[in-house]
Amino acid sequence: MRLENKVALITGGGSGIGREASLLFAREGAAVVVVDVTDDAGRKTVDEITSAGGRASYVHADVSSAKDSEAMVAHAEREFGALHVLFNNAGIMHSSDDDAVSTSEETWELTMRINARGVFLGCKYGIPALRRAGGGSIINTASFVAKLGAATPQVAYTASKGAVLSMTRELAVIHARENIRVNALCPGPLRTPLLMAFLDTDAKRNRRLVHIPMGRFGEASEIAKAALFLASDDSSFVTGAELLVDGGITAAYVTPE
């Protein structure tokens, strides 16, 4: 098993990518700390893991809160003895996110607080725990929109994911000699409740689909498998990377530098 004797903390573990990653990491031998603000969904993920014979624990935490972020890391060490994998995955895509003219300051601030500040706080409190464990892997969920603009306007989301990508690069360089790897996972458009709620009409969905060379939305389980690679020792020489799992969309539209 690829994560045997490892402890992984996954934010946003109650649904989407976080849920699929929690289940997969547990099947691969990890003890999983599932973090969410939706208690029923988070506990359901934990119940699925433990019912299958795995080890998991649920923590309610708002990743934009320093107090909650510190507490979730402390819970992982207290419950399972260490922290080896930190998957900063929680995020939002606000329904009123639009272009710069139409997007409210409140939507901008909320999106940045959860998507960018949440990753910063996860790293702020998670990195000392990884040091105590002798090293480990941090995975930050960015997005393909950190590499190119989105066809459907979502300026706050896009800016927040660009911040995650830049933060990931810097942290990777800073901590490379500490046996701490930091990588960004950049999913393409996925058939998850988060995106489907944002693309709430056939016209919006078709506008996004037409740009994907593979002609379909990705699945959360496919992104979880990419996260597993970054979490495991299979990626032992990978840090500061942008792992694009996007059905070819950036290959079609990004001009090589």
The pLDDT score that the predictor gives to residue 27 is 98
Element (H, E) at 55: strand 55-60
Inter-residue contact 29 to 2 (CB < 8 Å): yes
| C-alpha distances out from residue 160 to 220, 246, 249, Å | 20, 18, 20
Task: Tell me, yes or no, whether 194 lies in a domain.
Answer: no
Task: Tell me, yes or no, whether 253 lies in a domain.
Answer: no
Q: Partners of 11 in the beta sheet?
A: 35
Q: What is the CATH number of the domain that holds 88?
A: 3.40.50.720
pLDDT tens series, the chain, 257 aa = 999 999 999 999 999 999 999 999 999 999 999 999 999 999 999 999 999 999 999 999 999 999 999 999 999 999 999 999 999 999 999 989 899 999 999 999 999 999 999 999 999 999 999 999 999 999 999 999 999 887 788 999 999 999 999 999 999 999 999 999 999 999 998 887 777 777 778 777 777 788 889 988 999 999 999 999 999 999 999 999 999 999 999 998 876 66
Inter-residue contact 188 to 145 (CB < 8 Å): no
Residues classed as catalytic: 157
Number of compact structural domains in the chain: 1
Task: Tell me, yes or no, whether 209 lies in a domain.
Answer: no
Task: Tell me, yes or no, whether 251 lies in a domain.
Answer: no
The pLDDT score that the predictor gives to residue 178 is 98
Q: Go through the chain and tell me how many residues it has.
A: 257
Task: Tell me, yes or no, whether 1 lies in a domain.
Answer: no
The pLDDT score that the predictor gives to residue 49 is 98
Q: Partners of 33 in the beta sheet?
A: 9, 57
The pLDDT score that the predictor gives to residue 111 is 96
Task: Tell me, yes or no, whether 98 lies in a domain.
Answer: yes
The residues near 256 (Cβ < 8 Å, ≥ 6 apart) are: none
Residue 16's domain comprises 7-189+219-241
0.75 exceeded by pTM: yes
The pLDDT score that the predictor gives to residue 256 is 64
Residue 88 gets which letter from DSSP?
E
Helix (H, G, I), strand (E, B) or coil at 256: coil
- Structure tokens belonging to residue 187: 């999913």
Task: Tell me, yes or no, whether 57 lies in a domain.
Answer: yes
The pLDDT score that the predictor gives to residue 257 is 62
Buried b (16+ CB within 10 A) or exposed e, 63-95: bbbeebbbbbbebbbeebebbbbbbbbbbbbbe
| Residue 48, phi then psi, degrees to nearest 5 | -65, -40
Tell me the HSE value of 235 on the side-chain side, using a 13 A CA sphere: 26
